[in-house]
Chain A
Amino acid sequence: MPVEQITEFAELRREARRWLAETEIPTVPLELEERFNVLRRWQRTLFDAGWMGLGWSREAGGRGLTARHQQVFSEELARAHAPAPIGLIGLDVVGPSIHRYGSPEQRTRLLPPLLAGEDIWCQGFSEPSAGSDLASLRTRALRDGDKYVVNGQKVWTSWGNQASWCALLCRTDPDAEPKHAGISYLIADMSSPGITVRPLVQMTGDAEFCEVFFDNVEVPVGNLVGKENDGWRIALDTLSQERGNYAMRRQVEIGWGVEKTIDGLRGTSPESATNSRISTAIGESHVALRVLDAQIRRTVQRLIDEEGPHPLDSIDKLVLNDAEQVVGRALADLLGPFRLDAESQPLGLNAAQLIHDHYFSRAASIYGGTSQIQRNIVAERLLGLPRS
């Protein structure tokens, strides 16, 4: 790395540290609705101070820097035990694809409110009978003059009930062979007539994902991203965004959980450092996070080099799964039988939070493509093993 760049990052780091030291860091409540509000306000604070979208262009409301700058800021958030901003799907997953493939008009219209946390986004990909085999999706969009008319159903749509916009995959050519050649990437306004959202309660207790029904929903043609029937390429980009941005977010969030746990243990049970069961769990978590950090650094380099989707993305996803699940399980195990009492605080541990995080970690090997699907990709496309 050239010396100027190191200095530039060091400067950004100092600036971030200074700002974080002067800023009130919010405590994040466990309850979903409150959590949502606190984090949304936090994102606004970050946006107003110029910390959102460091790697995004200025027209999109960002700062025109690089993914590495974004990563430096994420590292500083983690160090300050500060939460990541709210814009989950929008910011980390869908947003970057709109940034890359959207028209200039779409970028300037849609992205600044996304960065500010004003607009929440959701990702309407999965359907009841199209999960791992996403290309078999059936939700139809029929062109009618200057609009598409959408009919069908999506499922497991995270934040569907909070979202203003949905990145929607639809079938625009039912006869296309292969199936993925007939899919388009639309942006649907969630307040459009004909959309019904039904929240589903997850194992964590949060009603975070939803069923979304589309009944003759009209989407203006100007909301098509890229070209008609060319949505698959963009969808793959969206799925691969999990690699850098989403992984950085989770690194901050998981790191934050580990720090809180350490704080609790030190405050209440100073003898825990000599209890090998406790120190082992903390050590395992530390190692898993550091492996994730090392992996993300390579990914960020690939993002800076502007590499598109790559089979190595699947390695990143698997490393993220492991970090989530190793930490989730190790920390929740420290509760022992107190796991049964979600209100309890054994050894200074926050049982409710640890149980929640442990349950959530089980989704890591499912969403964004299951770990089996990732291993198929690694084996065939990275290692070159023959197809089944």
Chain B
Amino acid sequence: MMSLTAADVDLVTPIREFFDRRVTSDYHHALLSGGWDPELMAELDDLGWSELTRPENRGGLGIDLTAVAGLIVLVGDRLIPGPLVEQLILPAYLDIPDGSLVAFADPAVTLDWASSIGSVHMESGQIQGTIELVRFGAEADSLVLAVDGPDGPALLLLPGSDPALALTPITSSDPTSQYVRLEIASRTVTDAEILATGTEAATLLRQIRAWFRLLTACEISGIARRMLEKTVEYVAQRQQFGKPVGSFQAVKHIAASMAQAAISMEALCEATVSDISSAEVDFDIEMATWTAKAYAAGAGRQVVEDALQLHGGIGFTTEYDLHWYYRRVLALRTWYGDEHELHALIGSRRLTDGVDR
């Protein structure tokens, strides 16, 4: 039924086998307590993770991002930490050195909180500013930075270890990612560090952000499917009043609603991926990815909340693994917009441009 993964089975199978072998239950626990394991990331990279989407003329395999969506569904399903989405999206669009782990410092992860998240400004080759939340900012080898300047946006590639970038770790509630606050008092940018400017940068940013939204929705969709399966297994065996709790209609109906949310989320991710890959001329990719993320944010939270409810007390303990999934979904739902922010954005676009998807 998980057709997103079924479609790209050649890509997904080896990675799934790798996770089966490498991410044992105890290790998973340790991994989630620690935020991530660079060694695991390196092994994944040896398997070719970040080469997948890098264009052939830059030494990669040049696989379309639509074809790797199933990998991110799997990452959600297995709850694997690390900058996995970053390592698929950024090399696909930007010229990033081989084997380098990259973070994306982008204030556009939120619109409703834009006035609080900050921004970095570039003028006459100098940058300065603050971004409050950068995922994997401290761990990455390099940092892709979205800045604004007098001629519109620009994309820069900076070494992560640069002393002019003050990185302050944040105590994160997301079990699968570390975050930092980035502050740049003043730094000169060399021409070599500028990846794109002006309309080129604006286009790249639109595409990259669209993919962050869509792959984040896919990750939530993978988590939702896992939560559904786990919950059904649990309520079918847990006994109260002399029978499985899953035989009570009140419980069944919550499980059925979880199924509805998980399955429709999958269908939407799949339809979005398919529309992007068959790219009709008048198809609005940005709008479609806002839509997918908006739905995943709302439906994803519902599914994990229901999963917690149906597990009763055990789901609330830290020994059991539900809380990891719950916290991850709460983190992902805000990243590049929750349903509230995106509904307003979609609606106002519909009311101005009248695009119809």
A residues adjacent to B (C-beta < 8 A): 6, 79, 259, 262, 265-266, 272-274, 276, 278-284, 286-287, 290-291, 293-295, 297-298, 312, 315, 318-319, 322, 372, 374-376, 378-380, 382-388
The one of B246, B271, B272, B342 that contacts A386, using a Cβ cutoff of 8 Å: B246
CB <8 Å contact, B243 and A280: no
**Given A280-B343, A287-B343: A265 touches B351 (CB 8 Å cut-off):** yes
Does residue B173 face the partner (Cβ distance < 8 Å to A)?
no
Known: A286-B346, A287-B342, A322-B260. 12 other contacts (CB 8 A): A262-B354, A279-B345, A279-B348, A283-B343, A283-B344, A290-B271, A290-B295, A319-B264, A385-B232, A385-B244, A385-B247, A388-B249
- State in angstroms the CA–CA spacing of A266 and B295 once bound together: 25
CB <8 Å contact, B236 and A266: no
**Given A287-B294, A290-B291, A386-B246: A375 touches B257 (CB 8 Å cut-off):** yes
Does residue B12 face the partner (Cβ distance < 8 Å to A)?
no
Q: Within the complex, what minimum Cβ distance (angstroms) separates A325 from chain B?
A: 13
CB <8 Å contact, A380 and B351: no
Residues of A within 8 A of B344 (CB): 276, 279-280, 283
Q: Within the complex, what minimum Cβ distance (angstroms) separates A102 from chain B?
A: 32
The one of B235, B248, B272 that contacts A388, using a Cβ cutoff of 8 Å: B248
Residues of A within 8 A of B256 (CB): 318, 374-376, 378-379, 382-383
CB <8 Å contact, A297 and B343: no
| 17 sampled A-B residue pairs with Cβ under 8 A | A279-B346, A280-B340, A280-B344, A283-B294, A283-B346, A284-B343, A286-B347, A293-B271, A298-B270, A318-B257, A375-B256, A378-B256, A379-B252, A379-B255, A383-B255, A383-B256, A388-B252
Q: Within the complex, what minimum Cβ distance (angstroms) separates A320 from chain B?
A: 10
Which 3 pairs between the two chains have the least Cβ-Cβ distance?
Answer: A279-B347, A283-B343, A283-B347
CB <8 Å contact, A315 and B259: yes
Residues of B within 8 A of A322 (CB): 260
**Given A279-B344, A319-B260: A372 touches B253 (CB 8 Å cut-off):** yes
The one of B232, B295, B350 that contacts A282, using a Cβ cutoff of 8 Å: B350
The one of A6, A273, A315 that contacts B264, using a Cβ cutoff of 8 Å: A315
Residues of A within 8 A of B343 (CB): 279-280, 283-284, 287
CB <8 Å contact, A283 and B252: no
Identity of the chain A residue whose Cβ is nearest the Cβ of B246 in the assembled complex: A385
Does residue B268 face the partner (Cβ distance < 8 Å to A)?
yes
The digit string for B322-357, where 1 denotes a CB below 8 A from any CB of A, is 000000000000000001101111111011101011
Identity of the chain A residue whose Cβ is nearest the Cβ of B236 in the assembled complex: A385
Residues of A within 8 A of B249 (CB): 376, 388
A-facing residues in B226-280 (Cβ within 8 Å)? 228, 232, 235-236, 243-244, 246-249, 251-253, 255-257, 259-260, 263-264, 267-268, 270-272, 278
- State in angstroms the CA–CA spacing of A297 and B271 once bound together: 8
Q: How many residues of B contact A (CB 8 A)?
A: 46
CB <8 Å contact, A380 and B252: yes
**Given A280-B347, A383-B259: A294 touches B352 (CB 8 Å cut-off):** no
- State in angstroms the CA–CA spacing of A90 and B258 once bound together: 33
Q: Specify the main secondary structure of chain A where it touches its partner.
A: helix
- State in angstroms the CA–CA spacing of A32 and B278 once bound together: 41
CB <8 Å contact, B268 and A278: no
The one of B244, B251, B291, B350 that contacts A262, using a Cβ cutoff of 8 Å: B350
**Given A266-B351, A273-B351: A286 touches B291 (CB 8 Å cut-off):** yes
Q: Within the complex, what minimum Cβ distance (angstroms) separates A61 from chain B?
A: 31
CB <8 Å contact, B356 and A295: no
- State in angstroms the CA–CA spacing of A370 and B43 once bound together: 51
Identity of the chain B residue whose Cβ is nearest the Cβ of A293 in the assembled complex: B271
The one of B263, B268, B347, B352 that contacts A315, using a Cβ cutoff of 8 Å: B263
Identity of the chain B residue whose Cβ is nearest the Cβ of A380 in the assembled complex: B252
Most chain B CB inside 10 Å of its own CB: which residue of A6, A266, A298: A298
The one of A281, A372, A386 that contacts B244, using a Cβ cutoff of 8 Å: A386
CB <8 Å contact, A281 and B354: no
- State in angstroms the CA–CA spacing of A318 and B253 once bound together: 12
The one of A286, A298, A383 that contacts B350, using a Cβ cutoff of 8 Å: A286
A-facing residues in B123-170 (Cβ within 8 Å)? none
The one of A262, A273, A387 that contacts B247, using a Cβ cutoff of 8 Å: A387
The one of B3, B236, B354 that contacts A384, using a Cβ cutoff of 8 Å: B236
Residues of A within 8 A of B348 (CB): 273-274, 279, 282-283
Residues of A within 8 A of B263 (CB): 295, 312, 315
Q: Within the complex, what minimum Cβ distance (angstroms) separates B291 from chain A?
A: 5
Q: Within the complex, what minimum Cβ distance (angstroms) separates B86 from chain A?
A: 26
- State in angstroms the CA–CA spacing of A374 and B340 once bound together: 29
